[in-house]
Amino acid sequence: MRVPHNIYIKTKLKKQCKKCGIDFQPTKGLINYCSLNCRNSRIWSDSDKLKKSKAARTSEKAIKQRESLKSKEIIDKITKTKRGAHKKHILESNYSDLSFESLRARILYEQNEKCNKCGLDEWLNTP
């Protein structure tokens, strides 16, 4: 008596992904989920989000950073340094290589931020 050949073939089970609900064939490492994205992703509850937010705000690193940035002198120093570097970069660049906004800034720097015709540095009481 002959045994049917399909008796030895494993039946292919279909499962439903726990995350997205798609039917899939389980493989090694992906038994309950259809893909690595579904398996590795996590849905954060509102309480988890709130807990992480509080921890981030009250961490020592965040507190030190806020205290150092609150100092007006440091902020003013950084601003002046960045403005000076920006002005130097624009004035030393080739005129033809600059974008429209950079050209506009260069003209203002070259004219000391005043009108070329009349010399006004304010318009309607705003610089």
Local structure of 113: helix, strand or coil: coil
Beta carbons within 10 angstroms of residue 34's beta carbon: 21
| 3-state SS, residue 16 | strand
- For the stretch 76-109, pLDDT in tens is 888 889 888 988 988 898 888 888 888 888 888 8
The pLDDT value given to residue 14: 85
Name the burial class of residue 19, with classes exposed (0-12), middle (13-18) and buried (19+) by CB atoms within 10 angstroms of its CB.
middle
**Global model pTM greater than 0.85:** no
Q: What is the dihedral sign for C-alpha 108, 111, 112, 117? A: negative
How far is residue 97's CA from residue 103's CA, in Å, rounded to a whole number? 9
What SS3 state is found at 30? Answer: strand
